[in-house]
A and B are shown apart, each in its own frame.
Chain A
């Protein structure tokens, strides 16, 4: 309890610093997630309609064994080059954004592909039988039916991104992870919690709210 009080005290005394870290963390996560959805959901759609799709999904699944932290660290030596992509941002932020976007990839691709393939062929056939064109079948039938599973992929990706954003502190990005890393360096337990508690709440919040969204887009069976 003293630790928690200590953490609260710290936040009150360093409000600006805390809010700054929180903002960076959320901004980084949201950007990565949105960018990930923009890139990888269409890729999943392609995978579901392309003959090489299963192979691609297989490779993406296998790539999940690469530790999240590795993706960040492997890009780090190229921070100078990466920094030039978005000169208006801190180069480490850009680097972390790219890494987290990549980390959002596997759950988005895998779920989108599985969701679209999971729609019963008889339903699609029926839609065609009613006179829908190929694109109408996709936008009005297949995609809406696949949406809950795709949303589940977004949920997994969101939790992954929020968690991995803490690692960005290791390469000098001021996310909530910075309190955890400096908490250990300074051996200040309260400081550890200043990072750990909000990050956990963020992850749980994303999990719960996206699970809610998933139910919302699910059609009653």
Chain B
């Protein structure tokens, strides 16, 4: 069963949307977090890729690029026991 990320040659015939938008604040934040955590040695690029590829196929196709990053980074940090799901929930409750 091919994984959702392995897209080459797949019949996704939506037109290319030529207009691009500049990343908004939360996208800049997760983009920065991703590079920073890698630079600090918390994970390797291919580890992050593996966690992106583990995202449920349907979810993968319906998530934006930075949405996938947020999901994968959260999962990798939880699995490495650097953070716990409760920690994030606590912070979310404070927002």
Partners in one complex: no
Residues of B within 8 A of A (CB): none
Point out residues on A near B: beta carbons under 8 Å. Answer: none
